[in-house]
Homo-oligomer: A and B are copies of this chain.
């Protein structure tokens, strides 16, 4: 029954699966690995799954373009949750393998730059070959094709391997952000520590357009959290912008900024408002970046009431 089925970027044993299992409801869902981000999302579009978990951004590698582009085009989808996962690799080997036995290592191409320094320091002579995913690398070690694979420690059990070293990551604070995507419906409820995602297309190719779009946010005191340009496919130099801002679509400053963008851009696609992972709303007072004075919901309501009084002659 689809309502209880969640797809994710597979195969089993990937970081995406680990991220998905951090969601409480994952325990009561059927979790189905898919071969690609488009496949995971198309299952949702087609009604075969209630939601899909896919990576959207990595603190080392940047935006996951397959996810960004899938969300920007095709049948609309919406984000309801995000999951932040620390990315640390384990070096998985068949039981009994020692460091000095390792001649070949594998892993997903994206993993390589994140373990390059570690490899140079600890296995300078090992030969790297990429595999289709970290989990796939683990499977190939199991089958004896390589001596060791970089993957999440949690993948060891799935493939009957042993984590020889754990906690490997060249960059500090390597994290991946995943989003839980479903068909469009009412956004997740406002928590006070929310993130809103959207994609905007330039009305025409005029050079100051991005500046104008950022001013739509700035003038309402809405902070930008992420911005990525993506080609529209209409030719070199034609971009759309995938953006996250602080706040929820029901926050009045966010709502007015979105309406301003809707009027100013050629097209805007709302991708959802959802709780920020790892941020406790109760601890957000005293936030790093306080919203600008005059941009709270109360300020907006007071201004609307004042306007009504002016229009009625009750100044």
Interface residues, chain A, CB within 8 Å of chain B? 57-63, 65, 76, 78, 84, 171-173, 175, 177, 184-187, 203, 205-208, 210-212, 214-216, 218-220, 223-231, 233-239, 246, 249-250, 255-256, 258-260, 262-264, 268-270, 288-289, 293-295, 299-300, 302-304, 306-307, 310-315
B187 and A313 contact, CB distance less than 8 A: yes
Which of B203, B236, B269 contacts A173 (CB under 8 A)? Answer: B236
In Å, the complex CA distance between A65 and B306 comes to: 27
A312 and B235 contact, CB distance less than 8 A: no
Please name all residues of chain B whose beta carbon is closer than 8 Å to the beta carbon of A288 when the two chains form the complex.
Answer: 205
Please name all residues of chain B whose beta carbon is closer than 8 Å to the beta carbon of A76 when the two chains form the complex.
Answer: 315
In Å, the complex CA distance between A85 and B263 comes to: 36
A307 and B235 contact, CB distance less than 8 A: no
Known A211-B215, A259-B300; contact A175-B310, beta-carbon cutoff 8 A:
no
Please name all residues of chain B whose beta carbon is closer than 8 Å to the beta carbon of A215 when the two chains form the complex.
Answer: 211, 215, 219
10 A-B pairs with the lowest CB-CB distances in the bound complex, closest first: A263-B294, A207-B223, A185-B313, A259-B303, A173-B235, A262-B303, A270-B310, A186-B313, A59-B236, A211-B214
In Å, the complex CA distance between A233 and B170 comes to: 10
B263 and A295 contact, CB distance less than 8 A: yes
In Å, the complex CA distance between A211 and B138 comes to: 45
Tallying the copies of this chain within the complex gives 4
Please name all residues of chain B whose beta carbon is closer than 8 Å to the beta carbon of A255 when the two chains form the complex.
Answer: 307, 311
Which of B65, B184, B225, B312 contacts A237 (CB under 8 A)? Answer: B225
Please name all residues of chain B whose beta carbon is closer than 8 Å to the beta carbon of A237 when the two chains form the complex.
Answer: 59, 225-226
A218 and B223 contact, CB distance less than 8 A: no
Which of B57, B228, B250 contacts A311 (CB under 8 A)? Answer: B250
Within the complex, what minimum Cβ distance (angstroms) separates A290 from chain B?
11
Within the complex, what minimum Cβ distance (angstroms) separates A255 from chain B?
6
A-B contact pairs, 11 of them (CB 8 A): A186-B313, A187-B310, A203-B294, A205-B288, A228-B229, A249-B310, A250-B311, A259-B300, A259-B307, A263-B295, A263-B300
In Å, the complex CA distance between A61 and B268 comes to: 21
Please name all residues of chain B whose beta carbon is closer than 8 Å to the beta carbon of A259 when the two chains form the complex.
Answer: 300, 303-304, 306-307
In Å, the complex CA distance between A249 and B218 comes to: 23
B302 and A262 contact, CB distance less than 8 A: yes
A60 and B231 contact, CB distance less than 8 A: yes
Known A186-B312, A219-B219, A256-B256; contact A84-B236, beta-carbon cutoff 8 A:
yes
Q: List 4 other contacts, CB 8 Å, given A207-B289, A212-B219, A270-B315.
A: A84-B236, A171-B233, A207-B246, A214-B214
